[in-house]
């Protein structure tokens, strides 16, 4: 079957499924209009993504929240959750609990009517395994179903990547038995590191079982590495369960851009995925030290772009 025909079939299926998913879309997220984008008004993704499927990786706010565990850090973390709830977000993806216990953090989520269906937390490596039982226990309290490290090690040999994949498969089996899913979040190096005609990402997928390990595909990093995200989606199908929706600006050093201001064709990518995507996770890596970057603007515009809300 040609790639063009595959795209057409996937697009038809996506349209049918989306017409069912769109029931119950939320209304406007905020009374304030979005700021004018650097490259023009922030456009809509095309077919709206239901708000219940939109999340945000809190790494977007890493510089604002900070990396401490003191009361001031926790207060900033709470302020972020409050603001996201007011924007219309229903889900968040934490990268830290800022020193709070899982119970305390779960209480904050309830306070602001948020859920954390996914989480970034170090799951270790074959050389330094993590306490997976503790992570699974915290996840149960938090309501997390998908979890994984924020990045993979930058191994250089196929043997190292294979051993890492086998370790992840073991962790994924533990997760499955606990009713959870282990996810692999990529950067660019998984697609730039190759062994013959296989990438390191291929090695990870081939040495893990689909019932144990799924992919959280970071669309920016895939494109940055020179790979078409649609090709990855077509290769691995419903193993790609979550997207990090992060935009790429080809005009400014291929930098990470606010979702909707960049050059990635999210509408085509989402159509290719069909109905298998569980969560669309907005993300913008912090521009540490750059006072012109406002993570709250990035969050608000990202939500508006995906849900096609106007404010």
Q: What is the DSSP string of 68-117?
A: --SHHHHHHHHHHHHHHHHHT--B-B-S--TT--HHHHHHHHHHTT-B-S
**49-286+293-307 adopts what CATH topology?**
TIM Barrel (3.20.20)
| Torsion angle of C-alpha atoms 285, 140, 215, 158, degrees rounded to 10 | 100
Average pLDDT over residues 254-269: 97
Greater confidence (30 vs 280) lies with: 280
Q: What is the pLDDT of residue 9?
A: 42
Give yes or no for residue 33 having a pLDDT over 50. Answer: no
Residue 70 CB neighbour total at 10 angstroms: 10
Residues 6+ apart with CB under 8 A from 160: 153
The pLDDT tens digits for 181-209 are: 999 999 999 999 999 999 999 999 999 99
Q: What is the pLDDT of residue 43?
A: 79
Provide the token pair at 123: 């799951």
Give yes or no for residue 5 having a pLDDT over 90. Answer: no
Give which of 223, 309, 225 is closest to 34, Cα–Cα. 309
Report in angstroms the alpha-carbon separations of 128 from 123, 125, 138. Answer: 9, 5, 20
Q: What is the pLDDT of residue 311?
A: 57
The pLDDT tens digits for 48-102 are: 999 999 999 999 999 999 999 999 999 999 999 999 999 999 999 999 999 999 9
Question: How many Cα atoms sit within 13 Å of 272 on the Cβ side?
Answer: 21
Q: What is the pLDDT of residue 3?
A: 38
Give yes or no for residue 212 having a pLDDT over 70. Answer: yes
For the chain, give the mean pLDDT: 89
Task: For residues 262 and 265, give the distance between their C-alpha atoms in angstroms, rounded to a whole number.
Answer: 9
Helix then strand then coil, in percent of the chain rounded to 5, is 45, 15, 40
């Amino acid at each position: 079957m040609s790639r063009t025909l595959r795209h057409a079939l996937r697009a038809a299926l996506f349209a049918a499924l989306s017409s069912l998913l769109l029931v119950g879309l939320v209304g406007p997220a905020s009374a304030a209009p979005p700021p004018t984008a650097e490259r023009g008004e922030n456009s809509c993704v095309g077919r709206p993504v239901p708000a219940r499927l939109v999340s945000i990786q809190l790494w977007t706010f890493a510089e604002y929240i900070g990396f401490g565990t003191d009361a001031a850090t926790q207060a900033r973390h709470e302020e972020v959750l409050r603001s996201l709830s007011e924007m219309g977000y229903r889900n968040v993806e934490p990268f830290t609990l800022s020193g709070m216990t899982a119970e305390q953090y779960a209480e904050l989520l309830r306070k602001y009517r948020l859920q954390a269906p996914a989480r970034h937390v170090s799951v270790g490596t074959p050389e330094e395994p993590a306490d997976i039982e503790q992570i699974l226990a915290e996840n149960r309290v938090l309501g997390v179903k998908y979890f994984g490290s924020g990045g993979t090690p930058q191994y250089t040999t196929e043997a190292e990547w294979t051993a890492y994949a086998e370790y992840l498969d073991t962790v994924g089996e533990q997760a499955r038995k606990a009713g959870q899913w282990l996810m692999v979040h990529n950067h660019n190096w998984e697609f730039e590191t190759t062994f013959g005609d296989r990438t390191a990402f291929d090695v990870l997928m081939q040495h893990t079982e689909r019932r144990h390990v799924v992919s959280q595909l970071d669309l920016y990093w895939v494109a940055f590495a020179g790979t078409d995200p649609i090709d990855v989606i077509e290769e691995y199908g419903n193993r790609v369960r979550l997207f990090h929706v992060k935009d790429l600006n080809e005009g400014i050093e291929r930098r990470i851009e606010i979702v909707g201001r960049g050059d990635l064709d999210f509408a085509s990518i989402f159509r290719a995925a069909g109905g298998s995507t569980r969560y669309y996770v907005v993300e913008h890596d912090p521009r540490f030290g750059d006072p012109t970057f406002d993570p709250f603007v990035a969050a608000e515009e990202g939500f508006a772009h995906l849900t096609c809300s106007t404010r």
